[in-house]
Amino acid sequence: MIHSDVLIIGGGPAGASLSQFLKDRGISSIVIERFGKNRNKICAGGIPLAINALLPQRLQNFERVEYDSLEIFYKSRLTARSSKKVLFSYGVRRSDFDSYLRIGIDVRYYENFLNFEKTNNKILARTDKGTYSAKFLIGADGVGSKVSLLSGLAPKKRFIVAEEAEVPAEVRYKNTLKIFLGYNSIGYGWIFPKNGFLSVGSGSLKNRFRKGTVFSFYPGQYKAKIYPISLWGGEEILHKGRVALVGEAANLVDPFSAGGIYPAVLSSFLLSEVIVKSLKNGRTSLEEYEKLLCDKLYPNFRYALFLSRMFYPFLPFVKKYIVKSSTIDLALELTSKGYISYEEFYKKVRASKHIALKAAYFIIKKFFG
């Protein structure tokens, strides 16, 4: 049997960064990852600038492109674009980013986590290769998390279904993101330029997803893979005794943008702080983890959820207000500060006299509070 203070299931951004944060505080951890080193998770790889304030300095030099302009297309027409250049997001290839985050930590590749049991003072976890004992077991195993399923934590799922491809291309305008609206209901499409290829994709709430939508705004001979995203839909219990969830396993995905990388790393950072304290004081409680999330993440997510309900279903009515350069400039300005403040965005939307926006606001307020 192998022992570690913390056993982490999943070596994506949540699991790898958690192991790094713990390592920096002198705590041993082992990461169990069912795929190999170069797994390229289906992902557009857009990361907010706030990632730099979270990652240790030695991990801030990841390979990336930098986005400073945004174009929005509505039903094939370029409808609005940012009027000035503002660095607002990074773009990464996930296989490179994930490998980078795993430098110097103990990852057991091609090992599949199966189940766990609790004893008085530890957790015993089984994989297809052996048994581990640990003081804490952390589920960082993404959408469809087995740790979530077995522990009964964070069962609520609000899914998006997305399709995406990396299409080799000579990329001329590497710094401009393109968003496509009006092709799918309750969702959006995207083109994220990278070095030598484009990440093209499209996603919608699960019952609205239509396979092949991506080809209507980016036609060509390529294959798009389909993958779910589990969005945040409200606070949930994320720990029980010595077990906790981080990242997408905990449904911690921005409900407006569907970005999950930054929340994954943030939740891991917060949990690492709590684990360090608990081990120092000889306690087993991870309760403070959820308090930290309530403080640092959920307020912004609540505004994001409200805005997503106001924006996507009512798009044909509110697009004149939302899809215009001044609104895009505002969003970019807010995003350039690190992570978009949805509260600021919400306040501007609330102050608008646009009649369709007001109607959408009152409908969402009435139904969702």
Which residue's Cβ has the minimum distance to ligand FAD? 260
Contact call for residue 336 and ligand FAD (CB under 6 A) = no
Q: Which is nearer to ligand FAD, 125 or 360 (CB)?
A: 125
Q: Integer distance in angstroms from the first to the last C-alpha of the chain?
A: 51
Question: Which residue type is seen at 192?
Answer: F
Number of residues interacting with ligand FAD: please give it, by CB under 6 A.
38
Contact call for residue 166 and ligand FAD (CB under 6 A) = no
Contact call for residue 189 and ligand FAD (CB under 6 A) = no
Contact call for residue 10 and ligand FAD (CB under 6 A) = yes
Contact call for residue 112 and ligand FAD (CB under 6 A) = yes
Contact call for residue 193 and ligand FAD (CB under 6 A) = no
Contact call for residue 45 and ligand FAD (CB under 6 A) = yes
Out of 187, 189, 193, 259, the only residue in the binding site for ligand FAD (CB under 6 A) is 259
Please name the residue that has the structure tokens 């505080």: 25
Contact call for residue 7 and ligand FAD (CB under 6 A) = no
Out of 182, 189, 247, 255, the only residue in the binding site for ligand FAD (CB under 6 A) is 247
- Shortest Cβ 186–ligand FAD spacing (Å): 16
In this structure, are residues 12 and 93 in contact, taking their beta carbons and an 8 Å threshold? no
Region of 11-19, 22-30, 302-310, 353-361 interacting with ligand FAD (CB under 6 A): 11-19
Give the DSSP per-residue string, 106-131: -EETT--EEEEEE-SS-EEEEESS-E
Contact call for residue 65 and ligand FAD (CB under 6 A) = no
- Backbone dihedral region of 283: left (phi > 0), alpha (psi from -120 to 50 degrees) or beta? beta
Region of 10-18, 54-62, 76-84, 336-344 interacting with ligand FAD (CB under 6 A): 10-18
8-state DSSP, 350:
H
Report the C-alpha gap between 245 and 104 in whole angstroms.
Answer: 23
Closest residue by Cα to residue 59 from 265, 249, 252, 247: 265
Question: Which residue type is seen at 168?
Answer: P
- Shortest Cβ 54–ligand FAD spacing (Å): 13
Contact call for residue 290 and ligand FAD (CB under 6 A) = no
- Shortest Cβ 161–ligand FAD spacing (Å): 9
- From residue 137 to residue 156, what is the string marking binding to ligand FAD with x (rule CB under 6 A)? ---xxx---x----------
Closest residue by Cα to residue 207 from 163, 161, 155, 253: 161
Contact call for residue 286 and ligand FAD (CB under 6 A) = no
- CB contact burial 270-309 (16+ within 10 A = b; e otherwise): bbbebbbebbeeeeeebeebbebbeeebbebbbbbbbbbb
Report the C-alpha gap between 307 and 302 in whole angstroms.
Answer: 9
Please name the residue that has the structure tokens 């309750």: 186
Q: Which is nearer to ligand FAD, 43 or 55 (CB)?
A: 43
List contacts with ligand FAD (CB under 6 A): 9-15, 32-35, 41-47, 112-113, 140-142, 146, 162, 164, 201, 227, 229, 247-249, 253, 259-262, 264
